[in-house]
Structure 1
C-alpha cells in the first residue's frame, strides 16, 4: 500500500472521529450566566423549612405552562447507597450512590429523604439537604427533558470530591462535572449539542468531602433558555467538508502525476 493511500486513510479516519465527537452526547460545563432570565430557578425559599422531598410545579417557581415539574429524592430507581468497597476513599457512604437507574427514569420512594433546611455556611440559605443533614445524596427528576441544569453546591472543603451527573430518560449517563474549588460553587452543565435530553440530575460524592454538602439556587432550562458556549477545538461541519474536498483533490493530483 502506497504512503499516499496510508495518509488518505489516516486523515479520513481522523475526519470520521471528529465528526463522531461533534455528534456525541457529552456535556459542556457552564456557569449561572449561561441561563437566560426566563430559565427556571428554584431557591428553596418557596416552601417552608422542614419540607421533605419537595415537588415543584411550574407555578411554584414562576415557570411557564411548558416548564417542567421538578421533584427531589435520594436516588433513582435501580440505584442504592454504596458500601465501603464501592465508594471512593474518604467519601461518606450516605452520599455515595452506585448502580444504574432503570428506565423510564424515576425517583426511588425508598431512598433517603431530602429536606429544606437552614445552612449557616450558605449566604442564600435556605438550602436542600440530603439525609443525614449535609451528608446525603440529592437527586432531581424533571418530568420533561431539558438541555441544561446547574446549582450552587457546598460548602466544599475538598476539590473534586462532589459531582453533578446528568441522566437521560432511559437512565443512561449523559455527562458529569465535579467541583473545582472550595466553599460555595456553582456546578452547571448543558448538552454539547444543546439538545433537550436531560431527564434527571444527581448531586453526590465521588471522593472525600469532609464538610458535607447541600444545594441551593437550582437553575434549569431548555435549549432556548441557555446560551450554549462553543466547543473548543471541534471544527465546524464546513471545515470538515473543505478538508474532505482537499483530500479528494490531493488524491486526484497524485493519480495524474503517476499517469
Structure 2
C-alpha cells in the first residue's frame, strides 16, 4: 500500500511538472477592473458588451452576453468573490448565450498556438442537466478560420482538440489573430463557472491529471 502511495505521488509530481512546463494559461479571469455585465428583456439591454484584459497574456477578452428568451436576466461576472473565476448565470426561466473573443492589442499582433494540440476549459461548476455547448473558432493572420462544436456536461478539465476542427489544412497556428468561444447553455436557467482557459501540448492522461493539479494550485493562490 505504501509503495502504491509513493508511486502515485511520484506520478502526480511528474505530470504536474511536465504539463506546467508546456501549458499556457490564456486567461484566469483576474481582471482589473472586474467584469460584471448583464442582459435583460428590456429594450436596449438584450445584448451587453465588455472588453477586459487577461492578466496572464495581455490579450483583450471581448465579451458579448445575449439574452434570448424568458422572464429574467443573464449575467456574466469575473473575479467572483475575488476568486478569479468566470461565473455565468441565468434566471430559472431565461436562456442566453455568452461569446468570448481573445485578441492581442496592436495592428498585426497574433497569438502563437504552434506546439499546442488542445484548448482547455477548467470547469468548476455546472448547474443544469444539459451542461453547455461551446463553438470554438480560431482565425489566422490571412483570414483562414477553423472551428468545431463541443458539449461540456461535467466539471473538470475539458479538452477541445484542434484536430477535430475544420477545414484546417492551410491554417497557421503560429499566427492566430483571434480565438473565440461561443457558449450556449443547454436549457433554461443554467449556470456554470470556469476557473481558467488555455492551451495544452497534448491530450494525454498525464496532461489531464497535471492540469487538475495545476487548477487546484491556481484556485488556492486566488483565494489567498
- Bin for the TM-score computed over the shorter chain: 0.3 to 0.5
Normalization by structure 1: what TM-score?
0.42
Normalization by structure 2: what TM-score?
0.47
